[in-house]
Amino acid sequence: MANHPIKIILDTDPGGDDSFAFLWLQSLAKQGFAEIVAVTAVDGNVHAKDTFVGSCKLLQLGGFSDIEVGRGVIGGSNSEDVEDAGAIHGADGMGNLSHTLPEAQQSYEAARFSDEILIEKLQSTPGEITIVAIGPLTNLAAAEQKSPGVLNLAKEIVIMGGAFLHYGNITPEAEFNIAYDPEAAKLVFDTCKHLVVMPLDVTHQLIFTPEMAAQISAVNPASPIAQFVTALCQFMVGTAMAYRETGGQAGFLVHDAATLAYLFYPETLRFRHAQVEIETQGIWTRGKTLLDRRHGVQSSANAWVALEVDARNLLAVMIEDLKLLIQNGIER
């Protein structure tokens, strides 16, 4: 058991790859390395109601149903020209498998909004909470707008988003989480001084394969988590291949998992300290992330940007932790 588990708010829009990161986080929490303070669902891959329900179901599945889930803020500056990602993740965001998971025990209508939860938790424990943001940055921006300065009360904000030297995935230049709400992303990057960013530059190398799902499932094939991992992987591989995301390799990209690798296995990543800017105006480049690659004094850097990854070892540690989650005998 770790002495000081990292206190985490997971801001997420499940999402096939969100679901894998979500399960990995629950494994790390069961092992005593993380404490899940709350989950703030966000509108993104699918509608806010579906990401709320999906988050509740994933907590039920992993045995953390007592953790509060927030409902995503809607009505931010969501781009009208970027559709959700239901075509990749399934209409429910979870490979059309959410009906196979336990019923959500929390009500969307009665839930607090995600920005309220962020504000309350950050203000009550300043400097202690790490936000892991693996969807559009709408909730974080809404919290900052309501309560200026609140995001800088986080210990750290780790974001999956952006594409710097790599091409985009939702447009030729932009990555989905940033392009879905570029104004929110701009507000977060303009406000925060110590962001950690996992862009497509590293996440496009994280190809999770059916063989990896089989390794995990073999530990306890009857476990509902094992069955979900296998079925979700199969669905995600189908859409990833159709969208040509993996260079023809049978697998899918577990983008969001990179955030947890940084927190728990940082030796798998290499970073550049830089000032990140978000393009909100460009006709062709709206939602693009930029950094100044010239050699000069980086006096106004606001982010550590991951640009290299040891994908093999990152996936290996993720697989081992997921095995532990489904092994009998790990109790909270």
149: left (phi over 0), alpha (psi -120 to 50) or beta: left
Among 8, 9, 10, 79, residue whose Cα is nearest residue 44? 79
Q: Is 90 in the site for ligand BDR (CB under 6 A)?
A: no
- Which residue, 144 or 201, has its beta carbon nearer to ligand BDR? 201
Supply the minimum distance, in Å, between the C-beta of residue 256 and ligand BDR. Answer: 5
Given 47, 194, 255, 295, the catalytic residue: 255
d(CA 131, CA 194): 12
Of residues 237 and 253, the one with the C-beta less far from Ca ion: 253
**Within positions 291 to 330, which residues make up the interface with ligand BDR, using CB under 6 A?**
none
Instruction: Report the amino acid identity of residue 253.
Output: L
Cβ nearer to ligand BDR, comparing 30 with 255: 255
255 vs 288 by CB, closer to ligand BDR = 255
Q: Report the C-alpha gap between 289 and 276 in whole angstroms.
A: 7
Nearer to ligand BDR, 10 or 122 (CB): 10
- Choose the stretch contacting ligand BDR; rule: CB under 6 A; options: 10-18, 102-110, 190-198, 279-287: 10-18
Residues 141-180 that bind ligand BDR (CB under 6 A): 160, 169, 175-177
Shortest reach from residue 142's CB to ligand BDR, in Å: 18
Residues 189-248 that bind ligand BDR (CB under 6 A): none
Sign, Cα dihedral of 303, 307, 310, 316? positive
Q: Does 85 bind ligand BDR (CB under 6 A)?
A: yes
Nearest Cα to 271, choosing from 247, 322, 305? 305
Q: Rounded to the nearest whole angstrom, what is the least distance from the CB of residue 220 to Ca ion in the complex?
A: 27
Residue 170 to residue 212: CA distance in whole angstroms: 27
Active site residue 255: yes
Strands 269-274 and 303-309: antiparallel
Nearest to 132 by CA among 13, 30, 48, 8: 8
Does residue 43 touch ligand BDR according to CB under 6 A? no
- Beta pairing partners, 269: 309
Work out whether the CA dihedral 72, 75, 81, 86 comes out positive or negative.
positive
The binding site for ligand BDR (CB under 6 A) comprises 15, 17-18, 45, 85, 134-135, 160, 169, 175-177, 255-256
